Chain A
Amino acid sequence: MSTVAAETQAAAPKVAKMNVVQAVNLALDDAMAADSTVIVFGEDVGDKEEGGVCGVTKGLSTKYGDARVRSTPISEQAIVGAAIGAAIAGMRPVAEIMLMNFTAVAMDMIANHAAKLRFMSGGQTQVPLVIRTMTGAGMGSGGQHSDYLEAWFAHVPGIKVVAPSNPADAYGLMLSCIEDDDPCLFIEHLVSYWAPGTPPTRGVRVPIGKANVVLAGSDVTLISYSGMMTPCAAVAAKLAAEGIKVELIDLRTISPWDTATVLASVAKTGRAVVVHEAVRNFGVGAEIAATLHERLFGTLKAPVQRIGSAYCAVPFSKPLETAFMPSQAQIEAAVRKTLG
């Protein structure tokens, strides 16, 4: 938590940094101020309950009232169900499912209902809700509090899945998700919640489905999102010192993913590595690698590499947890492998 203290000390108005907690809070605040149909609910989100276990919704119930910002029972099906019904009736609910593993409890509501009601109704109804959820290994939370499960949701037609890696994208994507007429799952990386970053520009949206080319390069494309952008950026910087030009892409949206940007990059570099914290098997990396092989087989200079966590539950013991997650060394090795 040293980053929190650093952030507080560095909070001089001119060059104020902002972390993801503050950025998401600001986006919710701006959205609620602009549109009275935006409502927020979830476990502990009200100020009487400290504005969320990590304080992401702090201040909102005080500012907008207990009717629009309400703490709920620990009832994930009821939370998402209420969000669905309210969304169909014209509200724009932002429902918090505290931790991503808890979405499993609400999976029927998310996958069978939120995602499908537009289609099954022949377009008569829509479900413009946002489900905020946080996750990430590295804090010793063990097997049921830190999984990345984005592939589950990306596999369900009808729901958009976003996973910002920094405060500005978190702010801009949250505004886009709230304004989007389709259901969106918004994944927050808990471990980097308090890392200071470049603040967003108020009111600037980040479009859903648009990746960000963080670093231009010509030798190999490194594709990642959410918390894994940090080690990927470190690998790119290290290799740059050796003259290896990595093109680093932050996917930002998992579904629908920005195939155009990724294909254009890999068509240029001929090499690609996909990195995510979710376990490798049947992960987002498999979808991206398959697409790249289908579309660019003739121009690829090496097989697409996939890096993900080990195929097991998130372990508790620190050395196991560390070994479970993709390391900078693994990412670097995968990049070097594509270079032959």
Chain B
Amino acid sequence: MNTSTLPSRAVLVDMYRKATLIKQNDERFRSVIKSGKLAMVYYSPRGQEIIPSAMSVNLSNDDYIVTIYRGIHDMLAKGVPVKQLWAELGGRATGTCKGKGGAMHVTHPASGVMVTTGIVGASLPIANGLALAAQLRGEKRVAVAYFGDGASNIGAFHEALNMASVWKLPVVFVCQNNAYGEHTKLAYSTAVPNIAIRAVSYQMPGITVDGNDPLAMYQVAKEAVERARSGGGPTLIEAKTFRFFGHVLGDTDSYMDKGEKAAAMARDPVPLYRAWLISAGHATEQELAGIEAGFEQEIDEALAFTLASPFPDVAELRRDVFKQEIAA
């Protein structure tokens, strides 16, 4: 790890706190789904924990994010409450969106999670609009668009990068390059080996970074957020990572190289970061174990809360279509 621009101990621990919450939360989601207690189509972010953790310690609640169907890690890192997130994924009335959005469409404005989209590439143009509003009002807010490597091949990506550059919008485009777009390897679908190169076409900084390296990712995130916040315009970050559990939970992974996957899982970024924090003297085993135990309990409570929560009333079908409820 590059230690030349080390953040404070508090930030280092905060990044771990976010990353381990994401990991623990994902592990429990998968086990609960497999147990049959909750049923949903689930896109596991396991393996990609560091990216939004490093981004989010550079953001405040006032900053906006737009994320995608594989976005639970982005939401948790930004601060969506675990209880309401679980209840939403359980389709309960107590969820962030009253159970009307689900895992692919979580919104939680209080933590800055403004849109979660199930459409590849759609996060970027909308993040531009959030950034435009901030720019017009002279606010210092930043908008972050998360998306995958596959999204860099859809038109919306290119339209959005161009517009953001022309208008110098306070936006950070974060491509989480996990090596596969659905089932297809990057090299089979994408003309460039590094997606950050595409920033050149739009006259904005494009940076490829190891998204599983907390310090490198932190530094890149910090610079991009500061650039946006200070009026310097957009940045394209390509954070290289690897998803551990395929495209959708339950797929057979037969399209993945088993050796590649095993090697990536052996370099699981969360325990690696944990070991480094302790060995470098930034945190103690006891401190980190305390954080982890706290999250275990929080997740236990979120699951219990979800299972005890009511499902939404059928009248919700007529609500929120328009501002005015549709007559029965």
Question: Can you report 13 A-B residue pairs in the complex whose CB atoms are below 8 A from each other?
Answer: A68-B136, A78-B156, A84-B115, A84-B125, A84-B126, A85-B66, A85-B114, A85-B115, A88-B129, A91-B132, A121-B97, A123-B320, A158-B322
- Contacts of B100 on A, CB cut-off 8 Å? 119-122
A-B contacts besides A119-B321, A122-B107, 19 pairs, CB < 8 Å: A77-B160, A78-B162, A80-B125, A81-B125, A81-B159, A84-B129, A85-B130, A86-B132, A88-B114, A88-B130, A108-B119, A108-B122, A108-B156, A112-B118, A118-B323, A122-B95, A123-B319, A124-B108, A180-B323
Q: Does A210 contact B (CB under 8 A)?
A: no
Nearest CB to that of B114 among chain A residues?
A: A88
Q: Chain A: how many interface residues by the 8 Å CB criterion?
A: 44
The 6 closest A-B pairs by CB, nearest first: A85-B129, A81-B125, A89-B133, A122-B97, A121-B107, A122-B98
- Contacts of B115 on A, CB cut-off 8 Å? 84-85, 88, 113, 117, 121, 125
Q: Chain B: how many interface residues by the 8 Å CB criterion?
A: 45
| A108–B155 alpha-carbon span in the complex (Å) | 11
Q: Does A126 contact B (CB under 8 A)?
A: yes
Nearest CB to that of A181 among chain B residues?
A: B323
Known: A73-B166, A78-B125. A158 touches B66 (CB 8 A): no
The listed residue (A77, A93, A120) touching B156 by CB distance below 8 A is A77
The listed residue (A68, A73, A80, A118) touching B162 by CB distance below 8 A is A73
B163 lies within 8 A of A82 (CB): yes
Q: Does A109 contact B (CB under 8 A)?
A: yes
| A126–B107 alpha-carbon span in the complex (Å) | 11
| A75–B162 alpha-carbon span in the complex (Å) | 9
- Contacts of B132 on A, CB cut-off 8 Å? 82, 85-86, 91
- Contacts of A113 on B, CB cut-off 8 Å? 115, 117, 119, 122, 126
Q: Does B239 contact A (CB under 8 A)?
A: no
A118 lies within 8 A of B156 (CB): no
Q: Does B12 contact A (CB under 8 A)?
A: no
A78 lies within 8 A of B163 (CB): yes
| A215–B114 alpha-carbon span in the complex (Å) | 47
The listed residue (A39, A67, A68, A75) touching B159 by CB distance below 8 A is A75
Nearest CB to that of A123 among chain B residues?
A: B320
| A73–B158 alpha-carbon span in the complex (Å) | 11
B114 lies within 8 A of A78 (CB): no
- Tell me the residues in window 170-219 of chain B with beta carbons closer than 8 Å to chain A beta carbons: none
| A11–B134 alpha-carbon span in the complex (Å) | 42
| A67–B166 alpha-carbon span in the complex (Å) | 13
Q: Interface 1/0s, chain B 288-328, versus A by CB < 8 A? A: 00000000000000000000000000000001111100000
CB of B115, distance to nearest CB on chain A (Å): 6
| A39–B132 alpha-carbon span in the complex (Å) | 11
Q: Does B273 contact A (CB under 8 A)?
A: no
- Contacts of A86 on B, CB cut-off 8 Å? 129-130, 132-133, 136
Q: Does B64 contact A (CB under 8 A)?
A: yes
- Tell me the residues in window 150-208 of chain A with beta carbons closer than 8 Å to chain B beta carbons: 157-158, 160, 180-182
- Contacts of A182 on B, CB cut-off 8 Å? 322-323
Q: Does A90 contact B (CB under 8 A)?
A: yes
Nearest CB to that of B127 among chain A residues?
A: A85
| A245–B117 alpha-carbon span in the complex (Å) | 52
A85 lies within 8 A of B128 (CB): yes
- Contacts of B163 on A, CB cut-off 8 Å? 72-73, 75, 78, 82
A87 lies within 8 A of B129 (CB): yes
| A126–B126 alpha-carbon span in the complex (Å) | 13
Q: Does A60 contact B (CB under 8 A)?
A: no
Q: Does A273 contact B (CB under 8 A)?
A: no
| A88–B134 alpha-carbon span in the complex (Å) | 11
With most chain B CB atoms within 10 A of its CB, the pick from A82, A86, A113 is A82
CB of A124, distance to nearest CB on chain B (Å): 5
A81 lies within 8 A of B156 (CB): yes
| A126–B127 alpha-carbon span in the complex (Å) | 15
B320 lies within 8 A of A118 (CB): yes
